[in-house]
Structure 1
Amino acid sequence: MRQRALRLSLLAGSIVVAFFVLLAVYGDRAEEGGAEAKAARGDEKPGARSVAPPARLTVPPVYDTARGWEITGPAPAPAYTPTSTLAYALAGVGTATRLAHLESAGENRFRLRTLDPASGERGWEGTPTRALFAPGLAPRLLAVTAADGSAYFVTWSYGKLDATAPAPSDTIVSLDVYDATTGARRRVEVPWPAAPVVTAAGPRVLISDGKATGAVVDPATGGVSRVEPGALGRPKGCRECGRLTELRAVTEQGVLVGGAAEFWVRGGWFSRTVAPTGTAPASGVLSSVAPGRILARWQGKRKAKDTATHETWAVHDMTTGKVLARTRCRRPALAPVDAPQPALSPTGRYLIAGRLAFDLATGKGQCFEEADGTGPLTLTAVTDEGTAYGAALARSVTDALAGGGSPVEVDLTAGQPEAVALAPNVRLPGGSTAGMGLFPWTDARDRPHLTAYPLRP
């Protein structure tokens, strides 16, 4: 009898516990569903909420750590969590600039959120979207500025629509294109047989296989056009254009293509016709691209006395090929593993890339290195005021942002810019926008953060 009473008591307790668990789950889902419904209906007004106040980091003294904002990403988790480093992108110009970032919205789902980088006020947010079935390949985020100035955020993932679908016959690249101002979304799906390279340095999105096959997506219409290896418009007389051919970006005139040496825009200009003065016209190598800009490396003419020891780095306009700025650098004692990745100041006047810095308004460039080409700086960010930040002896930008090397700042407006050492514990900005420095960092629980501080008046 006592055992029966005990069983009944335990059963009653289990029912009560189950009731409260169900109530809690229902409440959470109702709250989440209500928020999603508000976002879908547009009931939640942009700017109605602000992100968290910032942590107090040790940063260059020109930034005011008493003001600003901060966003936090999820700790590393199973597949389909957006990323273990908080991915963000900037779109727009001036006061219209918006910052977008990805956040987890449940298992195998993610959401795009936006904010005003100057104030930290929340803007529109996308409804939760399911990632494709591709374990280990999280959704990625890009920003695109079209030829007419329209700005877009693009999230993309690669995989299968159904977990049981055969691969690779049913694999696609799925893109959600958001109007950066209104949040209006357009879905584009492009069949793709293998892991893609997706970039947005020009006015359209380029999907490629890392070689000569690609697809171009127009963010305004969602239209897709294929690019085949036999239709790249290879310039006549260019022997190296047929080796290591690679699609790099989409310009307003056509696809930008690079070969083992020399590069061109299909139906547009050819690098040999825009070579910097004093260089060998057929020696140009496309290094890397930034929105509207190309970074290229050139050899001197054969009879020049320093051709064996120095090379020219130049920034070109992506639409016309015109040289915007240039500098001469000693060839490094050890070739870098990766090409220097360029980054622009918010208004686009300054461009940095590894040890290189350019003022595109004056056409001047600077190469920060020792006289023998060793011990260079690695620059991480540059402001509209012409102040660049970086680290000496860092292995890469990622290493410099993680505290590697010795932090420095450089005034690019000076007649002879020189690196000035900062305190060893100073954290470097990874970007700059709207008078704000953007500082990515990871806490002790491996959660990624992005903290923004304004410049002091």
Structure 2
Amino acid sequence: MTLVVGVIVLALLLLLATCGGKQTTKSKAKGTDVPRTTMSNDVAARAPRLTVPAAFDTKHGWDIPDGSTEYAIAEATNRIAYLERVGNELFRLRTLNPATGKYGWEGEAWRPLFTGDRFPRLLSVSKDGQDYFVTWSYGKLSPQALKAAESIVSLDVYDAASGQVSRVEVPWTDAPVVTADGPGIVISDGKATSAVVDPATAEVVKVPPGSLGYPKGCGDCRKLTQVRAMTDKGLLISGAREFWVRGGWYSRKVAPKEADPASGIPASMAGGYLLAKWQPKKGSKEAGTHDLWVLHDVAKGKAVIQVRCRKPAIKPVDDPRLVTSPGGQFLIAGRLAFDLDEKLGYCFEESDGTEPLTLTTVSDDGTAYGAISARSTADAMAGGGRPVRVDLKNAAPAPLAANVRLPSSETMGVGVFRWTDGTFRTHLIGYPRLED
């Protein structure tokens, strides 16, 4: 009898241990902030030390092998998120605390609508002080679907702190452009059709082209119209030469005095600021040779800092992406840099426009890294151009060794570096900043 009872109890314990819950549209991810056996807090124990700027300690750090090279940062919740493969077709979102090297929560594995040979896309977004990670893919739910309207944008929105996730599916006809530069996730066709996803509620609001609130008297606003981003005041939208926030401010009304008020073109947005390019007033000395780059306060459109740069001989394919230091005092974008406290802007190039400096990352002490004559930010991080260190407090670039690898970002006192080893395995490596 005792033996039979023991067998029954053991069977019940095994049953309870193997039973799992069914995932719904809202669920909580697994895991807590504890080290995992697959993780080493000392990179030197598991990978070669990279040649990086002297400010970073290559004797300590962390290494994420075989994950996505695209990652997202939630500074307020001490998280960096990346994707990893689970088998041939599934993917999982995982998180890590960059300051400690400890893993956090991980999401359930899922199959994206993309083909399995590439990673889903990954973004971060913040609203009302809460950070979220967003993964998305685009395609058809059913392989047998024939109509274009049966394609959808599928998004998983994760609470960065807890891992709770909401699935959002938005029917979409054309190839989507998905951005999260402000407090909302914007899906657009790269033109005037868009939808906005609220990361806190998962509510979707579709915005047809006729509801964009075109400014009165702006003829160019209806040409090449493009929904750019979501701001706290409404959608940021641009036309052929002007831009506006729906229900808010209009670029012509906030143009800097030195600029042609009908020439503004938005480039990118970050940290509550918008970077826009303007043409100097017609007839001015530099009207044909220079662009005026202006940092605007997104809330009111007010011009905060401006700097002149010579027009490039070959126009870049992408507008420069605005990047903030972790604390937000410094911002960089391509060859541009801004110091909010000192209200100073810099354009790093020779007077004739040659030898431009492409910046990749900036820290809270005003130290930036980049490369001279690199074709793009990605080229600079891949070893293109001549690497340099820049002290934005005195705007002085200093050359680095030619083989120095540049950080792709800095967060919580840790520089993040991308690396591909000799077996073509991708790595994200974090080195802590050395104490002064």
State TM-score, norm by structure 1: 0.85
The reply on whether 1:394 has 2:374 as its aligned counterpart is yes
| Conserved 8 A contact 1:391-1:405 | yes
The reply on whether 1:424 has 2:424 as its aligned counterpart is no
- CA drift of 1:200 comes to 0.1
One-letter code aligned to 1:46: D
| Conserved 8 A contact 2:271-2:328 | no
| Conserved 8 A contact 1:144-1:204 | yes
Q: Match for 1:86 among 44, 53, 69?
A: 69
Give runs of aligned pairs for residues 143-158 of structure 1, distance below 5 A.
143-146=124-127, 148-158=128-138
Report the structure number with the largest CA radius of gyration.
1
- CA drift of 1:175 comes to 0.7
Give the alignment's Cα RMSD to 1 decimal.
2.2
The reply on whether 1:351 has 2:334 as its aligned counterpart is no
- CA drift of 1:222 comes to 0.6
Q: Match for 1:46 among 24, 33, 38?
A: 33
SS in 1 for 2:81: strand
Partner of residue 222, structure 2: 242
Residues 399-455 of structure 1 deviation map (CA, whole Å, 9 limit, x = unaligned): 1111111100100011xx121100111100110100111111111222221111111
Partner of residue 294, structure 2: 314
| Conserved 8 A contact 1:333-1:372 | no
One-letter code aligned to 1:287: A
Query: CA separation in 1, counterparts of 2:302 and 2:72?
Result: 27
SS in 2 for 1:230: helix
One-letter code aligned to 2:294: A
Partner of residue 6, structure 2: none
Partner of residue 105, structure 2: 124
Partner of residue 412, structure 2: 434
Partner of residue 273, structure 1: 253
SS in 1 for 2:221: helix
| Conserved 8 A contact 2:89-2:116 | no
Query: CA separation in 1, counterparts of 2:119 and 2:260?
Result: 43
SS in 2 for 1:210: coil
The reply on whether 1:207 has 2:187 as its aligned counterpart is yes
Give runs of aligned pairs for residues 168-317 of structure 1, distance below 5 A.
168-317=148-297
| Conserved 8 A contact 2:251-2:261 | yes
Query: CA separation in 1, counterparts of 2:158 and 2:321?
Result: 26
User: 1:398 and 1:133, CA in 2 relative to 1: closer, same or farther beyond 3 A?
Assistant: closer
Query: CA separation in 2, counterparts of 1:345 and 1:104?
Result: 30
One-letter code aligned to 1:257: I
| Conserved 8 A contact 1:171-1:193 | yes
Q: Match for 2:57 among 64, 68, 74?
A: 64
User: 1:240 and 1:165, CA in 2 relative to 1: closer, same or farther beyond 3 A?
Assistant: same
One-letter code aligned to 2:94: R
Query: CA separation in 2, counterparts of 1:353 and 1:341?
Result: 5
Residues 97-137 of structure 1 deviation map (CA, whole Å, 9 limit, x = unaligned): 31100111122211000011111111111011121255666
SS in 2 for 1:400: helix
- CA drift of 1:36 comes to 8.8
Runs of 5+ unmatched residues, structure 2: 1-13
User: 1:118 and 1:308, CA in 2 relative to 1: closer, same or farther beyond 3 A?
Assistant: same
| Conserved 8 A contact 1:144-1:153 | yes
Query: CA separation in 2, counterparts of 1:384 and 1:115?
Result: 21
Query: CA separation in 1, counterparts of 2:19 and 2:359?
Result: 41
Partner of residue 454, structure 1: 432
Query: CA separation in 1, counterparts of 2:263 and 2:91?
Result: 45
Query: CA separation in 1, counterparts of 2:338 and 2:200?
Result: 32
- The alignment-based identity, stated in percent, is 54
| Conserved 8 A contact 2:279-2:292 | yes
SS in 1 for 2:149: coil
| Conserved 8 A contact 1:198-1:207 | yes
- Larger displacement relative to structure 2 (196-205 or 306-315): 306-315
Residues 49-86 of structure 1 deviation map (CA, whole Å, 9 limit, x = unaligned): 37333231100001111111111125xxxxxxxxxx52
- CA drift of 1:42 comes to 6.8
Partner of residue 17, structure 1: none
- Larger displacement relative to structure 2 (336-345 or 168-177): 336-345
| Conserved 8 A contact 1:247-1:257 | yes
- Larger displacement relative to structure 2 (155-164 or 403-412): 155-164
| Conserved 8 A contact 1:117-1:434 | yes
Give runs of aligned pairs for residues 395-414 of structure 1, distance below 5 A.
395-414=375-394
State TM-score, norm by structure 2: 0.89
Give runs of aligned pairs for residues 329-340 of structure 1, distance below 5 A.
329-340=309-320
User: 1:34 and 1:419, CA in 2 relative to 1: closer, same or farther beyond 3 A?
Assistant: farther
SS in 2 for 1:163: coil
One-letter code aligned to 2:90: R
| Conserved 8 A contact 1:261-1:286 | no
